[in-house]
């Protein structure tokens, strides 16, 4: 993880927030390569969920919602972590993350000092809206995007004429006052979620739950993730969230071990039932294809962390490889083996020399390609060094313009993964890159 954190900073993927002031815990900034990667991961998810599913539409709800939302959802009452403090060294722990032995003996795992009693700590960030800081002005930063979907479900049925079963997808920021934030961007106080809520007829929920588990697993396979680094974890009765009847996590083998990447939950009619109760509005669905039967739909939720997906993709792509090119057997390279659909830079155009018109020719190629792809241009330093820089940024294709290019209008296309080079006519580059992206299969 240290190597990934340092590469992320060095190459402009992720920086610590407010670094010049000593850093802000639980918050991170996405640099030029990071924002491109994050956007591509979000776009891949959005395409999968909306474009490829006729029965799913999108939404972008506000982060600030009526405070009753969070009473109805159960978050005010139940969204808590058990917390203990050390009276001696002042360290703070989640009680469920220290050993049973330490907890019963009330012994600090770090300094053996005495621990306080366990107390419940609500994870929602609370602030005030308007000039008065009283209880009437309390407002929360949303801890999940899901509730914005539930309270809009009737609007969407009415405006988009969706019929059950159907889904609503949303990507957006969420905030949690996490007690323990470590492992880089894995668990943070400000993060982004990609959530989809699928509304089904009561009784059809188990079947749809199994279906969505299958679809979400297949999605990661399509993204080219190492499938032996993914596994299922079923929530036991003690682990289930207050809204869930059944829940499975897709876990990824991060450098610190197996951890949750995405949750798939059967939330039953809990959320809509509670919002109906708290708002006094009728949130029943009228099933016109079923003798106008009225019911509160059950909800199957797929909930993935976008920023956690960024970390997963970085870890999954990271590789160090000993390469023997240029006759140097000791040469190592760091390479990010991103799927070309996710790579922040799709292709880099590199003139072998700055002189003799090669730079101008390379600039023309870049100009042509950037209409369709994210293209970088680099003319600084030896060509081998430039390849290494692109490998480290995860650029799948390098296009080198050399003296032969001037003679026959071809360039070399270098593949990041195999480091193989082939000659391609300049006129065919766009079509060739498109084809390479479409048919990409990870081999290493």
Distances from the Cα of 137 to the Cα of 134, 199, 251, 265, angstroms: 6, 33, 39, 32
What is d(CA 256, CA 39) in angstroms, rounded to the nearest whole number? 25
Q: Is 337 in the site for ligand GAP (CB under 6 A)?
A: no
Name the minimum Å distance from CB 193 to ligand GAP: 5
Question: Which range binds ligand GAP by CB under 6 A, 35-43, 106-114, 259-267, 428-436?
Answer: 259-267
Name the minimum Å distance from CB 385 to ligand GAP: 36
What is d(CA 313, CA 252) in angstroms, rounded to the nearest whole number? 10
Question: Which range binds ligand GAP by CB under 6 A, 46-54, 99-107, 305-313, 330-338?
Answer: 305-313
Name the minimum Å distance from CB 64 to ligand GAP: 18
Angle at 250 between CA 249 and CA 256, to 5 degrees: 100
Contact residue for ligand GAP among 205, 262, 271, 316 (CB under 6 A): 262
Q: Are 307 and 38 in contact (CB under 8 A)?
A: yes
Q: Which residue is nearest to ligand GAP (CB)?
A: 305
Contact residue for ligand GAP among 304, 335, 359, 361 (CB under 6 A): 304
Question: Which range binds ligand GAP by CB under 6 A, 90-98, 216-224, 260-268, 334-342?
Answer: 260-268
Name the minimum Å distance from CB 282 to ligand GAP: 24
Q: Are 315 and 335 in contact (CB under 8 A)?
A: no
Contact residue for ligand GAP among 148, 305, 340, 396 (CB under 6 A): 305
CB-nearer residue toward ligand GAP: 260 or 321? 260
What is d(CA 318, CA 188) in angstroms, rounded to the nearest whole number? 22
What is d(CA 117, CA 215) in angstroms, rounded to the nearest whole number? 43
Task: Lay out the site mask for ligand GAP across 170-209 (x = CB under 6 A, - = otherwise).
Answer: ------x-x--------xx--x-x-x--------------
- Which candidate, 376, 386, 329, places its Cα nearest to that of 348? 376
Name the minimum Å distance from CB 361 to ligand GAP: 45
How many chain residues interact with ligand GAP (CB under 6 A)? Answer: 19
Tokens 């300049």 -> residue: 426
What is d(CA 250, CA 212) in angstroms, rounded to the nearest whole number? 12
Distances from the Cα of 30 to the Cα of 9, 15, 27, 207, 342, angstroms: 9, 6, 10, 39, 15
What is d(CA 273, CA 269) in angstroms, rounded to the nearest whole number? 6
3-class DSSP state for residue 112?
coil
Contact residue for ligand GAP among 8, 115, 146, 411 (CB under 6 A): 146
What is d(CA 433, CA 345) in angstroms, rounded to the nearest whole number? 12
Site for ligand GAP in 209-228 (CB under 6 A): none
Name the minimum Å distance from CB 178 to ligand GAP: 5
Contact residue for ligand GAP among 85, 251, 260, 372 (CB under 6 A): 260
What is the binding site for ligand GAP (CB under 6 A)? 144, 146, 176, 178, 187-188, 191, 193, 195, 260-263, 301, 303-305, 307-308
């Amino acid at each position: 993880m240290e190597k990934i954190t340092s590469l992320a900073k060095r190459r402009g993927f992720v920086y610590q927030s407010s670094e010049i002031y000593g850093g802000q815990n639980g918050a991170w900034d996405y640099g030029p390569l990071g924002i491109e990667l994050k956007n591509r991961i979000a776009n891949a998810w959005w395409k999968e969920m909306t474009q490829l599913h006729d029965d799913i539409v999108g939404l972008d709800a506000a982060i600030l919602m009526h405070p009753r939302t969070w009473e109805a959802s159960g978050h005010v009452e139940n969204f808590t972590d058990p917390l203990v403090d050390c009276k001696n060294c002042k360290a703070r722990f989640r009680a469920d993350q220290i050993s049973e032995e330490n907890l019963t003996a009330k012994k600090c795992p770090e300094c053996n000092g005495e621990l306080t009693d366990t107390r419940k700590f609500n994870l929602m960030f609370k602030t005030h809206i308007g000039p008065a800081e009283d209880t009437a002005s309390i407002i929360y930063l949303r801890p999940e995007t899901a509730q914005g979907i539930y309270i809009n479900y009737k609007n969407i049925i009415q405006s988009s004429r969706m019929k059950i079963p159907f889904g609503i997808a949303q990507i957006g920021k969420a905030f949690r006052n996490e007690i323990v934030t470590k492992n880089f961007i894995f668990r943070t106080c400000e993060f982004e979620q990609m959530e989809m809520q699928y509304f089904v007829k009561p009784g059809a929920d188990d079947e749809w739950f199994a279906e969505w588990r299958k679809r979400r697993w297949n999605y990661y396979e399509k993204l080219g993730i190492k499938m032996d680094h993914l596994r299922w974890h079923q929530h036991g009765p003690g682990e289930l969230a207050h809204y869930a009847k059944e829940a499975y996590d897709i876990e990824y083998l991060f450098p610190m071990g197996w951890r949750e990447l995405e949750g798939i939950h059967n939330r039953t009619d809990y959320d809509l039932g509670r919002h109906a109760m708290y708002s006094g509005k009728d949130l029943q669905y009228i099933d016109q294809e079923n003798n106008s039967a009225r019911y509160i739909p059950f909800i199957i939720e797929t909930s993935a962390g976008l920023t956690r997906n960024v970390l997963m993709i970085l870890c999954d792509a990271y590789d160090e490889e000993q390469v023997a090119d240029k006759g140097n057997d000791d040469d190592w390279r760091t390479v990010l083996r991103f799927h070309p659909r996710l790579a922040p830079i799709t292709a880099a155009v590199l003139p072998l020399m700055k002189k003799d018109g090669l730079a101008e020719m390379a600039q023309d190629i870049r100009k042509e390609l950037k209409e369709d792809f994210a293209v970088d241009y680099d003319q600084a330093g030896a060509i081998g060094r430039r390849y290494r820089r692109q490998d480290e940024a995860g650029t799948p294709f390098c296009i080198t313009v050399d003296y032969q290019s001037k003679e026959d209008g071809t360039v070399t296309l270098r593949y990041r993964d195999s480091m193989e080079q082939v000659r391609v006519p300049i006129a065919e580059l766009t079509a060739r890159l498109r084809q390479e992206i479409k048919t990409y299969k990870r081999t290493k």
